[in-house]
Structure 1
Amino acid sequence: MKLILVSDTHLQTDSIPAFLSDVFDQYDMIVHAGDFDSLSFYKALEATGKLKAVHGNSDDPAVRELLPEKLVFEVEGVKIGVVHEASLSIVDSTATRYMALEMGVDILVYGHLHRPIIEKSDVLLICPGSPTKARMSDPCAVELVIDNGSVTTDIIPITGQSCGYIDYSRKLGKSDSE
C-alpha cells in the first residue's frame, strides 16, 4: 500500500490545489498530521475517501472538534501513529521516540516542524514537512510504502515556494549575473 504523508498545509480553500491533487492521486491513503487550518480544506481532503488525520494547534475549532489529537491505525500489520506535536526539537528525537513507544506503534508520523525528518531506531519517526509552508526546507511530503510488512520511505518534492531562508542561502556566493 502506498501512503502519502503530509502536515502543516495551512490552506484556506475549499478544494485541493492542482499541484497537490496530482500528487495525492498517486496514493492509496493520505495521512495528514494536522494544521489544515480551515474546515473547508479538511473537507476537501476528506472527500477523497483516502484521509486519515489528526488536528493541529492552528486548526479551526470545527476541525479540532472533528479530529482526534492522536490516531493509531494498522496497514498490513504495521501499526502507525499520528500526532501533530510530538517534539519541538529537530535535533533530539528522544521525546518523540518515547511517544511512539507509549502509543505502541511501529511508525510515528508527526508534524508542526514544517521540515522533513525521517529517523529509524527501534521505531520509525517521520515528520513529512510541509508541502505549502516549508521552513528551512523545500516544500515536500513523505511517501510511505508498506508491502507485506516491509516499509520504505522517500521524501517527495512538491512544486511550491521554498522558505525565504532557503531561497536566500541558495543565492549566497553567486554573482548577480548567474
Structure 2
Amino acid sequence: MKIAVLADTHLRVKMPQELLDVIKEADLAVHAGDFITSEAYESVKESAKRLVAVYGNSDDEDLKATLPESASFEAEGVRIGVIHKGRHGTDITNMRYLALEMGVSVLIYGHIHSPVIDQTDVLLLCPGSPIFPRMADPTMAMLEVRDGHVKVDIVKTSTGQMCRSIGYARSLEDKQ
C-alpha cells in the first residue's frame, strides 16, 4: 500500500497540482494538520482515494469542527496514528510516548515544518512541509506498507518556498 503523507500546507486555496497528482496515485493520503481552510482540505479530499486527516493549530474553526485532533488506522497489518502535535510539543520523547499511548507502531505528526524519521520501538514520521518548510527543503513523505513492514521516503517537492536559511547556506557553499 502506498501512502502519501503531508502536513503544514498552510494554504487558503486549492493544493498545488504537483501534490494533488501524488495524492491521486497513492492508495491513501494522510494529512497531519494545518490545511488552514476548507478549500485546501476539500482539494485533497477530492483527489484522494481515501483520506485520513486531523486538524492543526492554524486550521480555521470549520476544519476544527470537521476533523479530529488525532486518528488511527490500520494498513497492511501496521497500526498508524496521526496527530498534528503532541500535548507537550513535538520532541521525539513526547511523540514516542504518545505513539505508545495510542497503541500505534507508526506515528505521523506535523507542526515543525521539517522532515523527521526516528525509528526505535516505534516509527516517528514528520513529513515536513511541501509549501513552507523551516530549515529544510519543501518535502512530503511516501510510505510503502507491505506485509507488516514500513518503508519511508522523504520526497522533495518543487511547489514550496525554499527556507531562507537553507538558501543562504547554499549560497555560501557556492562561493567556496
- Structure with greater helix percent: 2
Q: Which runs of 5+ in 2 are unaligned?
A: none
SS in structure 1 at match of 2:62: helix
Would the alpha carbon gap of residues 65 and 96 (structure 1) be closer, same or farther in structure 2, given more than 3 Å must change?
same
Which residue of structure 1 aligns with residue 150 of structure 2? 151
TM-score by length of 1: 0.92
Does the CA-based 8 Å contact 2:81-2:107 persist in structure 1?
yes
CA distance in 1, matches of 2:156, 2:173: 25
Which residue of structure 2 aligns with residue 85 of structure 1? 85
1:52 aligns with 2:52: yes
1:128 aligns with 2:127: yes
- Paired residues in the alignment total 173
Deviation at 1:174, TM superposition (A): 3.2
Does the CA-based 8 Å contact 1:88-1:113 persist in structure 2?
no
| Counterpart residue identity of residue 134, structure 1 | P
Deviation at 1:77, TM superposition (A): 1.2
Deviation at 1:51, TM superposition (A): 1.2
The correspondence of residues 91-110 of structure 1 with structure 2, limited to 5 A, is: 92-110=91-109
Does the CA-based 8 Å contact 2:8-2:111 persist in structure 1?
yes
CA distance in 2, matches of 1:22, 1:45: 10
CA distance in 2, matches of 1:101, 1:9: 27
Identity of aligned residues (%): 46
Which residue of structure 2 aligns with residue 114 of structure 1? 113
Does the CA-based 8 Å contact 1:79-1:106 persist in structure 2?
yes
Misfit runs of 4+, over 2 Å: 86-89
| Counterpart residue identity of residue 24, structure 1 | I
Does the CA-based 8 Å contact 2:20-2:44 persist in structure 1?
no
1:17 aligns with 2:29: no
Deviation at 1:172, TM superposition (A): 1.2
CA RMSD after TM alignment: 1.4
